[in-house]
C-alpha cells in the first residue's frame, strides 16, 4: 500500500514544483530578463486569462469522450508529460531580449502551450486519483494527505532556486 501512496505523492510533487516555478518566475523573467514590451505583456496576460478559464473544462470533456485515447488517463500522462516538460523548457529560452514583438509572441505561445499540457495532465491525474481510490475511503484520505504534503513541500522549490541563482542578492547590488 505504501508504494501507490508514494507514487501519488511524488506525482503531485512533480506537478506542483513545475507550477510553482512557472507562476513565480515567468513574470519576473519575461519583464526583467527578456524585456517584453508592456503592451505585449498585457495582451499575453489577457489572452492567458481567457485560455486558462476554458481549457480545464475542454480537457475534462475531451477526456470523457468514449473511444478517445484521451479517456485512458495513464496514456495521457505518459504521452503528454514529455510535451509538458518541453513546453516548460521552451518558456525559458529567449527568442530576443531587445524588447521586440518576438518576445511577446514567445510569451503568448509559452503560456498557451505550458498551460494546455499542464491542464491536460492535471485533469487526467485528478481523474486517475479518483478512479484508483474509488470505494476506498481510508486509502483516499491517506492519498490526500500524501498529496497535500507534496504540494506543501513543492513551495520550498522557490527558496532553493532563489538561493542557487542568487537572484535576491543581485537585485540588492
Grid cell digits, residue 56: 480545464
Between CA 69 and CA 94 the distance in angstroms is: 34
pLDDT over 90 at 134, yes or no: no
pLDDT at 42: 97
User: Using 50, 70 and 90 to split pLDDT, how confident is the model at 164?
Assistant: confident
Max CA distance (Å), the chain: 58
Between CA 86 and CA 6 the distance in angstroms is: 25
Give the CATH number of the domain where residue 26 resides.
1.20.1250
pLDDT at 169: 64
pLDDT at 171: 55
Overall average pLDDT of the 14-33 stretch? 91
Residue 103 is part of which domain span? 2-172
User: 148: closest CA among 22, 5, 18?
Assistant: 5
In tens, the pLDDT along 64-114 reads 888 888 888 889 999 999 999 999 999 999 998 888 899 999 999 999 999
Higher pLDDT, 170 or 85: 85
pLDDT at 173: 44
Higher pLDDT, 29 or 4: 29
Between CA 113 and CA 50 the distance in angstroms is: 14
pLDDT at 69: 87
pLDDT at 27: 92
Higher pLDDT, 9 or 23: 23
Between CA 11 and CA 24 the distance in angstroms is: 20
Identify the weakest region by mean pLDDT among 19-28, 30-39, 105-114, 159-168. 159-168
Residues 117/57, Cβ–Cβ less than 8 Å: no
Average pLDDT over the chain, rounded to an integer? 88
Grid cell digits, residue 151: 504540494
Query: What's the number of domains the chain is made of?
Result: 1
Between CA 58 and CA 68 the distance in angstroms is: 14
Q: 3-state DSSP call for residue 98?
A: coil
How remote is the C-alpha of 84 from its chain's centroid?
8
Q: At residue 119, what are phi and psi to the nearest 5 degrees? A: -65, -45
pLDDT over 70 at 170, yes or no: no
Overall average pLDDT of the 135-147 stretch? 84
Give 136: exposed, middle or buried? Use CB within 10 Å, 0-12, 13-18, 19+: exposed
Amino acid at each position: 500500500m505504501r508504494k501507490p501512496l508514494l507514487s501519488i505523492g511524488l506525482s503531485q510533487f512533480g506537478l506542483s514544483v513545475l507550477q510553482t516555478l512557472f507562476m513565480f518566475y515567468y513574470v519576473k523573467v519575461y519583464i526583467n530578463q527578456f524585456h517584453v514590451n508592456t503592451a505585449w505583456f498585457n495582451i499575453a496576460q489577457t489572452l492567458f486569462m481567457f485560455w486558462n478559464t476554458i481549457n480545464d473544462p475542454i480537457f475534462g470533456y475531451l477526456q470523457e469522450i468514449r473511444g478517445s485515447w484521451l479517456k485512458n488517463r495513464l496514456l495521457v500522462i505518459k504521452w503528454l508529460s514529455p510535451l509538458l516538460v518541453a513546453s516548460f523548457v521552451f518558456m525559458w529560452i529567449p527568442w530576443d531580449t531587445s524588447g521586440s514583438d518576438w518576445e511577446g509572441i514567445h510569451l503568448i505561445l509559452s503560456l498557451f502551450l505550458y498551460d494546455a499540457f499542464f491542464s491536460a495532465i492535471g485533469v487526467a491525474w485528478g481523474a486517475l486519483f479518483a478512479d484508483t481510490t474509488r470505494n476506498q475511503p481510508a486509502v483516499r484520505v491517506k492519498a490526500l494527505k500524501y498529496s497535500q504534503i507534496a504540494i506543501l513541500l513543492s513551495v520550498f522549490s522557490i527558496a532553493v532556486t532563489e538561493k542557487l541563482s542568487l537572484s535576491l542578492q543581485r537585485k540588492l547590488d
